[in-house]
Structure 1
């Protein structure tokens, strides 16, 4: 290989190929196989790959690409879920880490699944389990192991339970002293070796719960000061920084802030629903349903609009719109599905990875 092209150039070329092509090129020679299977190559591949979104639709899971050149989604890709689709419903939640999904379905089963390698594994239930239990899925660089996290509520505390794929067993972490904590979203946000959830005990006691996948300890992080009365918030990652996306329904405004290394917050985006008025029907009362980032730090926003009038048919009283806000020039594009977005529920971001994570599926 080095006789014709330097390895760094080969990496850049291969990192721009599809997963299907990479599967073929693994067979070209041992050098290419080792290169494609290397963790460094996987990290570069994820840096280049676009963010797509796993969505629930028609009792199945679909993969949507909303940031391509064509903003009309003609054929959403249905994922071949390895278990009976009858267990997928509105309560299904999906977590993502390095191209592998963790799917929690209605019978309290946790299934870890790589859509491209077709590998999957059912995780044993750690004990008392409800649809309200928060979940986290991430990679611990210290032990070089992937881990699942859930909290099991007890009488006077709530204890973290961590599933280690290396040992194939659950371990208890440090108890959280307040079992009455509630969480904005069931699914945690993974960044570096930490998993984050927005938690609260009251409208004025709101914070971010940060769980360390290496030490199994937790700590509380302050939200932005202007966040304390916000009822709709999401956590995300942009430019490898934790961000919080906030929406004030009665003011129809939302903004995005990123956490700096010092722990302080820096507001980077502030928008009003009125900014979208040229693409939203003003006869509908639109609320923000889902917000996320693309690799270019553009913002994907899904609105659901409700119409209270009686002159429309029932199926016409709800609309769903998806918009792409381009932060570079502060412009909007509407993302359209071939028929309608009604019925789609966006679950999580997804970025492909060429690494077959054998440790997870032992």
Structure 2
């Protein structure tokens, strides 16, 4: 190659920093193919710094699990009339797919990783974008009530929190197991604030807001109390937080993402029978100072938006936030509808879907990322 051609080629080549900036905006599916381009790209996609940078541009997806062999992935269309485009995707995770069934519980998700609870004290970490599922066997065998999953930025480690299920009629709990997945550390800690509550839940997942996990608490009559249990992933301490006294009958949905990413509750109002939504005001440390009711959607409004005549009670199957919108999967008798509520415009819209939602029990959101699934080696 002549010196002139070499100079021309160098001029056409983009600076490596600019190439990295472009690649951080490429979908995971394409990056998986780009690993074959060259060794430097293959190494780049494994770097934690690149994974974090790519995560800031990654799209958010809606997912509904059909654990036998498929899941539903969804995204909003750009048309004037809101529509959820759903596609069935095979769960291609090799031999570990046998663990996925109707009894599987989603403990939480963070950075594109889903933490799952199977049967027989077996857990799993799953990245749907990479089609990677790794099983986790804790070093101790117990029965658990509330469970949670999140990321501790101070230690750069993912943690699973398991509140111990005590034996006997009055199953009060005062201990929890914390599992650090990257470091392989496990420790039992006290949660004395639970000594006055009966733990009636069974493998209920917590809601992650920042670096704090929140759970609902119930009384002896299986009724939601005016208290939430919180766990700080950094300080590893439990606390009790206030909860709205009328957040809905049954077990209202506790979600994150509205009003700047804070905590919200969505439930069926005892009085009106419609949907009632509360938003939390957080303090500087992420705790809850107070609550405010941000909307109460009556049955009449729901009838107009869905074109369904409501002759009986409605049932809230699931609620999530997506692009600043509140999405609620509501059952009207045998029919399921996906509703979208815009808090800024105070408008409620029925979302058309490309596939039936009749078999969906809950929805989740997740971000498509390159974050690898950690495999812990327990240090006992």
TM-score range, shorter chain: 0.7 to 0.9
Counterpart pick for 1:137 among 138, 149, 153: 149
Shift of 1:139: 0.9
**Distance in 1, Cα, partners of 2:120 & 2:330:** 30
In the alignment, which residue of structure 2 is the partner of 1:121?
134
2:206 maps to 1:188? yes
Q: CA RMSD in A?
A: 3.3
**Distance in 2, Cα, partners of 1:123 & 1:157:** 24
Shift of 1:351: 1.3
2:235 maps to 1:235? no
Q: Decide whether the 8 Å contact of 2:122 with 2:135 is kept in 1.
A: yes
In the alignment, which residue of structure 2 is the partner of 1:325?
341
**Distance in 2, Cα, partners of 1:60 & 1:259:** 40
In the alignment, which residue of structure 1 is the partner of 2:239?
219
Counterpart pick for 1:103 among 104, 116, 123: 116
In the alignment, which residue of structure 2 is the partner of 1:197?
215
In the alignment, which residue of structure 1 is the partner of 2:297?
271
**Distance in 1, Cα, partners of 2:280 & 2:49:** 27
TM-score normalised by structure 2 residue count: 0.77
In the alignment, which residue of structure 1 is the partner of 2:5?
none
Deviations 1:242-296 (A, max 9, x none): 23333315521321413332623344444334323232421553322111101x2
Note the residue ranges of structure 2 that are not aligned, 5 or more in a row: 1-9
Q: Decide whether the 8 Å contact of 1:120 with 1:361 is kept in 2.
A: no
2:103 maps to 1:91? yes
Note the residue ranges of structure 1 that are not aligned, 5 or more in a row: 307-317
Structure 2 counterparts to residues 309-324 of structure 1, below 5 A: 318-324=334-340
Shift of 1:325: 2.6
Q: Secondary structure at the match of 2:191?
A: strand
Q: Decide whether the 8 Å contact of 1:57 with 1:345 is kept in 2.
A: no
Q: Decide whether the 8 Å contact of 1:193 with 1:213 is kept in 2.
A: yes
Counterpart pick for 1:77 among 62, 79, 89: 89
Q: Secondary structure at the match of 1:282?
A: coil
**Distance in 1, Cα, partners of 2:63 & 2:328:** 15
**Distance in 2, Cα, partners of 1:12 & 1:215:** 35
**Distance in 2, Cα, partners of 1:118 & 1:64:** 13
Larger radius of gyration: 2
Q: Decide whether the 8 Å contact of 2:91 with 2:97 is kept in 1.
A: no
Change (3 A) 1:88 1:58: closer
Shift of 1:225: 4.9
Counterpart pick for 1:149 among 149, 156, 161: 161
Number of residue equivalences: 345
**Distance in 2, Cα, partners of 1:86 & 1:33:** 30
TM-score normalised by structure 1 residue count: 0.80
Q: Secondary structure at the match of 1:277?
A: helix
In the alignment, which residue of structure 1 is the partner of 2:352?
335
In the alignment, which residue of structure 2 is the partner of 1:351?
367
Change (3 A) 1:280 1:38: farther
